Amino acid sequence: MSRAWPGLGMGTWHMGERAAARSAEVAALRLGLELGMNLVDTAEMYGEGGAESVVGEAIAGRRDEVVVVSKFYPHHADRRKLLAACDASLRQLRIETLDLYLLHWRGPVPLAETVATLEELVARGKIRRWGVSNFDVADMEELVAVPGGENVAANQVLYNLARRGIEFDLLPWCEKRGIRVMAYSPLDEGRLTRHPAVVDVAARMHVPPAQVALAWLLHRPGLIVIPKASSLAHVRDNRSAADVVLDAETLALLERTFPPPHRKRPLEMV
């Protein structure tokens, strides 16, 4: 990708579902871009194209500043449907090229056909790079074994303080091969902001609980974190998390409260 991969981006799940919320959602994304959160993650599934449309409006006039990521349905993963799905996403986003295009989760279409089509989209200039989402180690090993599969650039998975299963094998597997891991639902659907240990740490540091949970993820080099925020206040809070420094004592406390995995766990999804 020609643009830098930032550590902190913006998610758009549940955006584009209500017309009344559109102006606020566009304003939130624009503020995030102004604050330097220049990666925006969306999907054709979100609002059935509605979120992509919101993103398209938000990035109008500043396309060159933004890393745009979208995802396609597994049932659109064959050649004919994938070519059409990509064109549909580009129309919604009002752009000519996607920076990163992800298979949303594993489906019935053979990986070889999907990868060949993604490579075709790269050759056509429709996408710059491609990746996957919700792929565990066995899926990744199968993926990189097909022709062109070694070009996978990213794997977007559920990862946060409360859901650390990927640390046992998937995260190091990806890191060893230079495949970027994107952490979705970094606040565990909001539950982490109410966890007593996170709340206590936040009170001691005089920051919102969400910033503690995000800062814990952001302290890991190479990770891309994509919290969603549809209000201006939440966008500012998310951006400020990048400046929060967790000291060794705090990290140790969080490690005891949310211990890392000591065995293989099935990959979690939401």
- Considering the domain boundaries, does residue 265 fall inside one? no
Residue pair 32/235 in contact (Cβ under 8 Å)? The answer is yes
Cα gap 37→146, rounded to integer Å: 34
Res. 1: pLDDT tops 60: no
Cα gap 89→63, rounded to integer Å: 15
Res. 5: pLDDT tops 80: no
Packing angle, helices 22-34 and 50-59, rounded to 10: 50
Q: What is the mean pLDDT of the chain?
A: 96
DSSP 179: P
Token pair listed for 169 = 């094998």
The label of the residue with tokens 């060159």 reads 64
Confidence tier at 145 by pLDDT (50, 70, 90): very high
Res. 2: pLDDT tops 60: no
Quick one: what percent of the chain has pLDDT higher than 70? 99
Q: Up-side HSE of residue 76: CA atoms within 13 Å toward CB?
A: 20
Q: Up-side HSE of residue 216: CA atoms within 13 Å toward CB?
A: 26
The label of the residue with tokens 């396609």 reads 72
Which residue segment(s) compose the domain that 110 sits in? 10-187+223-230
The pLDDT tens digits for 111-121 are: 999 999 999 99
Res. 67: pLDDT tops 50: yes
Token pair listed for 187 = 């606040």
In this prediction, residue 186 carries a pLDDT of 97
Domain count, the chain: 1
The pLDDT tens digits for 152-191 are: 999 999 999 999 999 999 999 999 999 999 999 999 999 9
In this prediction, residue 6 carries a pLDDT of 80
- Considering the domain boundaries, does residue 198 fall inside one? no
Confidence tier at 4 by pLDDT (50, 70, 90): low
The pLDDT tens digits for 9-41 are: 999 999 999 999 999 999 999 999 999 999 999
Residue pair 157/163 in contact (Cβ under 8 Å)? The answer is no
Quick one: what percent of the chain has pLDDT higher than 90? 95
- Considering the domain boundaries, does residue 126 fall inside one? yes
In this prediction, residue 256 carries a pLDDT of 97
Confidence tier at 3 by pLDDT (50, 70, 90): low
Q: What is the mean pLDDT of residues 205-229?
A: 95
Residues in the chain: 270
| DSSP-based three-state secondary structure for 135 | coil
Cα gap 142→156, rounded to integer Å: 17
The label of the residue with tokens 């091969």 reads 177
Check which CATH number belongs to the domain holding 173 and give it.
3.20.20.100
Cα gap 46→52, rounded to integer Å: 8
- Considering the domain boundaries, does residue 246 fall inside one? no
Strand order in the sheet with 39-41: 10-11, 39-41, 67-72, 98-103, 127-133, 154-158, 180-184, 224-225
User: What residues act catalytically?
Assistant: 46
Q: Is this structure's pTM higher than 0.85?
A: yes
The label of the residue with tokens 């993650």 reads 41
- Considering the domain boundaries, does residue 61 fall inside one? yes
Residues 6+ apart with CB under 8 A from 34: none
